[in-house]
Chain A
């Protein structure tokens, strides 16, 4: 089985299997292109990722490997155990998403860059969870945003929404 080496921006290498790498759509399509042009090759493929730092890459790869393992378990286990397995996966994902806001940003960026749909879903959900139940000011504080709406614009939103309710 061919291995793939992902190189983070600080030069650290991470070796993963093709199966796990196929969850990253960007790497998968790259692999496909290479195979189409060169045929079978046993050398490890090195993919430099200038946008992703070491710790984030580690985290993303942890996700890919784990999801791969879960997928294999899902196909192997009988239908009766599926519900139990789903619960396990959810518990693992919940634990996985216990990260700081800053880490979450990096994770979202990496998931978007590497195009890992499942991780992106998980991250956007976690981000949405941080917005829910908060006032605009609290959301701004949470994400470190400055109020960029000018008073006129605020007034316009208020007016159009109020007009709607009149």
Chain B
């Protein structure tokens, strides 16, 4: 039986009438789009970027199949929860969209310049005294403690608690709304002014990177405006736990070592933090204070190592995928919040704290800084910053500022 089956076709392309002679000369251009798309999909970033230039068809397929987006997804699983909207182009054409993912991929895979990308402490679950506020964890400064009448390392202290397994948290803001975070370093505080030099560490620590939902972001910003001038720790209540929910990314739980030294907790995969907020959860306590028989947690220093994704900011109107949390929006480098605010060097390592300390100092307050803080390098960056960065293994760069980073005179330069 010979079945007459000339009607039978391949799924996507109609069968081409061809003779034996014509079949001899197939070209790449004869292959169906689906097949060429699949071939391009198998390429890595460097091969894809050169394939894009080969011919018009390749370029069209790269844009059409959103191959740069796929490459970003491969790079970071977090990326797949985000979508990018483009504000800078005329209409957000597919080509521009492709370019945005191309840029995002470049940012994601850019070499790690190890910087401390912590900008400010926003809040703490509790604060014992106003001098022991959360902003102290940003710096290795020594500050005058009016209760003791001496200078000690600046630290944050929780309120005393009757329960040993109770938890505390610190809410910290990173320099940029979109950051890739590789590790967090924490140094617990040893109270050398107390008998036996007790170390007020915690048992475990966990990091929550908050992406924040759309409406929550708005609430947060208005809240922050109100509390910006106040010391951290005053801002408590249900509001904060409300907007930290939803799209947060939590790291694994790390065990703290009970030592007075900088402990670096490195994540298996760098975590993309959108919204720029980091919550450090300190679970369990190890030290009771003798005087009042209550459990305390005190932290001396926190540093966050990672890189900002320049040119991307979160956007509130998540139109593409409303359920996917925050969108990233591409902006021109000059509009980048970090670039606009004076660059990494000014914002990181508690740059704002230095500013605040300077104000306090001029006001004749009882805050004092260590002598080391007087020393300033050629760029006007206080040397103690470099010492703190040195804990991360960062050497002071000879030419520290890349293009696009504008560094202003360090504001808190004491005379």
Contacts and interface: CB of A to CB of B under 8 A. Distances in A.
A108 B15 contact: no
B55 A145 contact: yes
Contact of A133 (B8, B47, B96, B333): B47
Interface stretch (B19-27, B223-231, B341-349): B19-27
Nearest to B31: A108
Nearest to B37: A124
Interface in A83-131: 102, 105-106, 108-109, 112-115, 120, 124-125, 127-128, 131
Looking at chain A's contact residues, the main secondary structure is helix
Nearest to B333: A166
Interface string A128-166: 100111111001100111111100011011001101111
A30 B35 contact: no
A104 to B, nearest CB: 9
Given A108-B35, A124-B38, A156 B3 contact: no
B59 interface: yes
A164 B100 contact: yes
A53 interface: yes
B47 A132 contact: yes
Given A9-B23, A143-B28, A148-B56, A51 B16 contact: yes
Interface residues of B, number: 55
B28 A124 contact: no
Contact of A131 (B15, B43, B99, B330): B43
A140 B28 CA distance: 10
B53 A157 contact: yes
A79 to B, nearest CB: 29
Given A145-B55, A157-B52, A45 B1 contact: yes
Contact of A145 (B28, B50, B59): B28
A46 B27 contact: no
Given A46-B3, A102-B26, A132-B43, A109 B31 contact: yes
A17 B47 CA distance: 41
A43 B115 CA distance: 75
Contact of B18 (A9, A114, A128): A9
B51 interface: yes
Interface string A41-65: 1011111101111000000000000
A113 B9 CA distance: 8
A69 interface: no
A109 B39 CA distance: 13
B10 A163 contact: no
A144 B28 contact: yes
Nearest to A114: B10
A160 B34 CA distance: 26
Interface of B: 1-3, 5-6, 8, 10-11, 13, 15-20, 23-24, 26-32, 34-35, 38-40, 42-44, 47, 50-57, 59, 88, 95-96, 98-100, 102-103, 106, 311, 330, 332-333
Interface of A: 9-10, 26, 30, 34, 41, 43-48, 50-53, 102, 105-106, 108-109, 112-115, 120, 124-125, 127-128, 131-136, 139-140, 143-149, 153-154, 156-157, 160-161, 163-166
17 contacts: A46-B1, A52-B23, A106-B26, A131-B39, A131-B51, A136-B51, A145-B28, A145-B55, A148-B55, A149-B55, A154-B53, A156-B95, A157-B95, A160-B99, A161-B102, A163-B88, A164-B102
